[in-house]
Structure 1
Amino acid sequence: MGTAENKELVRRMVDECVNTHRADLLDRFVTADVRVHAGTPGTAPATEGLQQLRESFFRIRTSLPDLHVHLDDVLAEGDRVAARWTGSGTHSGALAGIAPTGTPVRWGGTDIYRIAGDQVAEWWRNDDMVWLLHQLGRDLTPVSG
């Protein structure tokens, strides 16, 4: 696929899976052995394979059932697609050890995808988890020493 088709693949995955809460459709967009690299250490494990990715989608959907991701920018070169995004939702389930608060949250991130054939084979996630946690009342403080 060319860069235009690669960008469209990512756009469709976000629209058809993330924003419609349809993890069951992920097999249309990602390889069976997809690898997702967590961007913020300690916030999510690396994901190996389609089933673990579906489970990850379920966990975030439990925390933020009305999650919506807007793609602010989508760039592509070769087999890579980069997307800058803004996520929003209501904290209605436990997230990072924080009990539900009912707080509306908004945060951003930048993800990079490697496309193989016509599917995402590898995905590097990077989001502003510090800002998300701040909105939920948990601020990270430096450790002295």
Structure 2
Amino acid sequence: MPDNNEHHERLAHLAAGLTAAWNAHDPQAVAALCAADYEGENVGEATPHYGPAGMAVSVATYLQAFPDLRFTVDDVVIEGERVVQVWRAHATHCGPLLNIPASGRTVQVRGVSLLTFRDDKLWRALYIWDMAGLLRTIGLLPDL
């Protein structure tokens, strides 16, 4: 059985691979990291997405809206089979998202992903991000 450091390194590597696949703008590469019974909840989506195909659709939707999307990870916490990533997304709003037409504005959004891995695949995920901040940046909410 691997020691705790090896376990943390493996999970950190899996989570970093997920971020790298997003930053490569490759929905199929992101999907390939998901278990067949993957389930993801995202505050920006009305319903969960399921399986690798559901993940690929979700990724493609965000890349259509933000074709230059890039994530930077600010912090990582690992416990058991779970990885928490605190991140920032940087992008230009060039396409529709959430029925909102492109604004052309540059955005920076903060968020947190709670990722649970099983058998070296992403099994469950919860994505919580600052939707109000995004809406403010693209001009749909007033500044506080």
Post-superposition offset of 1:27: 4.3
Q: Which runs of 5+ in 1 are unaligned?
A: 141-145
- RMSD over aligned CA atoms reads 1.6
User: Where do 1:103-118 residues align within 5 Å?
Assistant: 103-118=105-120
Q: How far is 1:26 from its partner?
A: 2.6
Structure-1 residue corresponding to 2:126: 124
Task: Give the superposition deviation at 1:48.
Answer: 1.1
**Do the aligned residues in 1 keep the contact of 2:31 with 2:56 (CA within 8 Å)?**
no
Residue number among 4, 7, 17 corresponding to 2:12 in the alignment: 7
SS in 1 for 2:140: coil
TM-score w.r.t. the length of structure 2 is 0.89
Higher mean C-alpha deviation, range 23-32 or range 48-57: 23-32
Counterpart-to-counterpart distance in 2, 1:82 and 1:53: 18
Identity of aligned residues (%): 24
8 Å CA contact retained: 1:4, 1:76: no
Question: Helix, strand or coil for the counterpart of 1:9?
Answer: helix
**Aligned twin of 1:63:** 65
| Candidates 26, 29, 33, aligned match of 2:30 | 26
Following the alignment from structure 1 to structure 2, what is the Cα–Cα distance between the partners of residues 137 and 113?
31
Summarize deviations over 1:55-105 as a string: whole Å, max 9, x none.
111110000000000011111011100000000100000122221111000
- Helix, strand or coil for the counterpart of 1:84? strand
- Name the aligned partner's letter for residue 38 of structure 2: V
Q: Structure 1 runs of 4+ off > 4 angstroms?
A: none
Distance in 2 separating the partners of 1:49 and 1:28? 10
Q: Does 1:93 align with 2:99?
A: no
Query: Number of residue pairs matched?
Result: 137
